[in-house]
Structure 1
Amino acid sequence: MAALPADPFDAVRWVRARADKRGYVTVDGREYVAGPARHSRELLVGVRASTVEILADRGRRAALLPRAWGAGEPVRNPLSLVPALVARPRAFGESTIRRDMPAGLVEAVDRMDAAGRRQTLRSISRAAEASGFEAACGAALRVVEGGRVPDDATVDVLARRIAAGGAEAAGGADLGVYDGFLKGGARHAG
């Protein structure tokens, strides 16, 4: 028998699909969200056993989504909606991404001006590349709870801590041990 090939075989079926006015493509009877920036365009869709990859202009990946079977809600990645919102931050009020974010973050973003919204959404997008959407939103929420507009560096560092889990995710190191020192010092001073 011959040796197996060095590169694994990519079991994929490529189909062309036209996105509707919302940026949704239909493959095998199920809707997948390519993103509003891809509306009314012809896209190349790679259907694999567990994923659906949507490619846009020049083979650039527009979305990588889990494959869904049967009837149901459109399959989407909230992060695919962020670039359109960064370009048009006033559209945040009507976006479906709101249901994927913590309520406190949505309320804070609603109160921001267009520049603040754009910066917050851009920070979430950049942090989500390394840490995931939920961790990035959690980090942005902690920043706005602190009374600041999220910036790229702060959201990225916090999102990485949240994604890593542990004490860092809960708000940093446990400083309770120092309370014991203070109580012990108060007995000796008194």
Structure 2
Amino acid sequence: MTMLGKPAPEFTATAVVDGKVVRDFSLDAYRDQYVVLFFYPEDFTSVCGSEVHAFQERLKDFADREAVVIGCSTNSATTHLQFLKTPAADGGAQGVTYPLIADMNRNVSDRFGTLDGQFDYDEYGRLTANSDLLCQRGLFIMDKGGTIWFQSYHFKPIGRDIDSVIRELDAIRRLQIDGQVCMANWKG
């Protein structure tokens, strides 16, 4: 389902921000910035760990473009805290400083269309499933007003190229700020 040109879904979720658990995390606090929201299947896995670190290594490049990076998986806040305390050599994300959403109830993943697996809703509107539900590897770029300008999905075993994400962000900013379109193979 395409979400391009639509407002980002509203949500309140638990997240780990600056090493602390925040129970009322939402995108509202970032409305005056571009937001790069990426979904990844699980903490403590090789491809996910490589992506989490790759975004961290380029955090200044995103900040220079008035953008924040936010990660999201269906892991708990406790798992995120442990992930953030564990060295990269041991499969962790020590040194990562941007927020990680703990989407235990799968609401954020579902609203952004990244929830992977067989699920339904009961008569009370609660999500139900017979197996674990993980996030697909999805990515969304929102402008300063919260409109989605870019979305992509990657097969779980394939990590994202951060240069490509920055190129998309540059293209969006170029169009919004200068009114300039971006031809094929354009580089910022």
Which of structures 1 and 2 has the bigger CA Rg? 1
For Structure 1 versus Structure 2, the TM-score category normalised by the shorter chain is: under 0.3
Task: Give TM-score scaled by structure 1 length.
Answer: 0.27
Task: Give TM-score scaled by structure 2 length.
Answer: 0.27
Between structures 1 and 2, the one with greater helix share: 1
